[in-house]
Structure 1
Amino acid sequence: MTMTTMSGAPTVPPGRYTFDNATPDAAQQVRLLAEILDAHTTDVLALQGVEAGWACLDLGAGGGTVATWLADQVSPSGLVVAVDQDPRHIRTHDLINVVKADLTVADLGKELYDLVHARLLLMHLPQREEVLRRAAAALKPGGVLVVSDWDCRRLDEMLLRSTAEVAAAFLAFQTALVGLAVDNGASAEWANRIPLAMTDAGLVDVTARVHNELWQGGTAGCLLHASNSRQMEAALLGRGVTAEQLAVLRDGMQDPATFAWSYPMVTAVGRRPER
């Protein structure tokens, strides 16, 4: 594994990613995200025919679990470039080149990759459609772009069963958390537009699916909410969520009697046309 940087000239001011990889809860957050989402992601990637010798680009690589899965598939002669603004959690692998970069301005290159993947990245970037166009341009002819983001528009429908007190705390937390992300440049509804953005970027054979799961209290999905509430506690309190509500939320997310839907995840796939 090597560490490099990407550079590029900024075009518009970058947004600020809501979650900080340097906080004490960040390692748990990326671990829980992998536990929740990797099975879905790798199922989709496997359908793209990833094989030995491919060059892959993983944008916003987080904990590096998807990059590691890709590296195992492209072994022994392929390469995975894993890019993150703070790549401290990415795992070491002989076929992974870790790149530290601000993806709002980084030059991704032209026609370099057989596959480009981005999960829970573009929804956070004000420049999401421009970054998607650069990701599409980085594909070789016939290469595949896979983008997954959460649809965060129906927060009041997520909690399926719990106490009234937990329900109130949960909605207050979700509303504040998504509001903070939007203030930082995120889009709650971007996921719904990904297929059209891919088409507008010149990709063909665009398909999409929505993945949703039921999370029970004490399992990874609900524990992610509790982890996020700790990681963002100061900002949430500043947005009007009370300490009592956060305590109720955390208890509720541990309670096996709690059931909540995940955020619906839209995963879209598009292919760069052959010459």
Structure 2
Amino acid sequence: MLTTTSGDTGHGSSRYTFDNADEQGPRMLGLLSGILDEHSTSTLAGPAVGVGAGWRCLDIGPGAGSITGWLSERVGPDGEVTALDLQPDHVTAGGNVKVQRGDIRYIDLPANYYDLIHARLVFEHLTDPDRVLDRIVPALAPGGRLVLSEWDVLSWQHWLLHTPSQDHAAAFGSFQQALFRVLSDNGANLPWASRVPLAMLTAGLELVHSEGSMRLAKGGEPLCLLHESNSLQLHTRLVATGLVTADQLRLLREAMNDPQTLAYSYQMFTTVGRKTA
């Protein structure tokens, strides 16, 4: 995930909502890895991508660096992996891994170079993801793959299956609405996840396809604990929206730790496109 402080760091008013330097940062990154890595590696190893020995890869917004590490092993000593982030403090360089500090909206990338460009939960935080997509496609080598994974956060009404009480359910809904307000105020492009295939086709990629996936979790499991972590990190800003109260955030945290709670994850859309060989 793209990492930066909550200050303005890019084109227009776009800024990243979460702060990985916050005390909740390492916990959030660990939860995301636990939730998403199996899905990501399955896609990257599968027939539509098939990352192999000798590939040159760019991992944008690597978060805890778990996918960077997986790619490093996959491409072997003859390949290379560049982890690009505004704050790449959680990724270790060495061997075939290069860590680069920079902003994907502005950094110069080598033309026709990467066999794979991968980003997870990055572009949805940008006000202008289509423009950034147009910037990175030329960096793909002929036949290179672009893989973008984004959460659809607009269908929240269908996520919560059961909570200990109606008050807990109401708190969950108020939290989600407040979170989306904070994200929108920071310039996030919330409808982006479902638009990625069209954006890739418009950018000139071929063999574009997308798959959606979601999972059910009990309270106390990583999918639910991520909501708790986000509510702790953003507590002040969430309450300031007027859409959720401090008491409701307390109830949310109770629910997310209660095994009676059943909640679906956000729906993940993973889209793959190929540059013409």
Note whether the superposition's TM-score is higher than 0.5. Answer: yes
Distance 1:259 1:90 in 2: 33
Distance 1:108 1:151 in 2: 28
Distance 1:139 1:223 in 2: 36
Distance 2:246 2:74 in 1: 46
1:35 aligns with 2:34: yes
Kindly provide the amino acid, as one letter, of the partner of residue 121 in structure 2.
L
User: Is the 8 Å Cα contact of residues 219 and 262 (structure 2) preserved in structure 1?
Assistant: yes
Residue matched to 2:195: 193
Distance 1:253 1:94 in 2: 40
User: Is the 8 Å Cα contact of residues 14 and 104 (structure 1) preserved in structure 2?
Assistant: no
Distance 1:221 1:98 in 2: 28
Distance 2:12 2:190 in 1: 20
Q: TM-score, normalised on structure 2?
A: 0.93
Segments ≥4 residues shifted beyond 4 Å? none
Residue matched to 2:274: 271
User: Is the 8 Å Cα contact of residues 29 and 227 (structure 1) preserved in structure 2?
Assistant: yes
Range 66-75 or range 87-96, more displaced: 87-96
User: Is the 8 Å Cα contact of residues 28 and 229 (structure 2) preserved in structure 1?
Assistant: yes
Distance 1:117 1:256 in 2: 34
- After superposition, residues 46-195 of structure 1 pair within 5 angstroms as 46-47=45-46, 48-162=49-163, 163-195=165-197
Distance 1:160 1:208 in 2: 26
Distance 1:108 1:216 in 2: 42
Shift of 1:92: 4.4
Kindly provide the amino acid, as one letter, of the partner of residue 57 in structure 1.
L
User: Is the 8 Å Cα contact of residues 128 and 189 (structure 2) preserved in structure 1?
Assistant: no
Kindly provide the amino acid, as one letter, of the partner of residue 186 in structure 2.
N
Residue matched to 2:205: 203
Distance 2:97 2:13 in 1: 26
Distance 2:118 2:13 in 1: 21
Q: TM-score, normalised on structure 1?
A: 0.93
Range 92-101 or range 51-60, more displaced: 92-101
User: Is the 8 Å Cα contact of residues 114 and 144 (structure 1) preserved in structure 2?
Assistant: yes
Distance 1:93 1:153 in 2: 39
Percent of aligned positions with the same letter in both sequences? Answer: 45
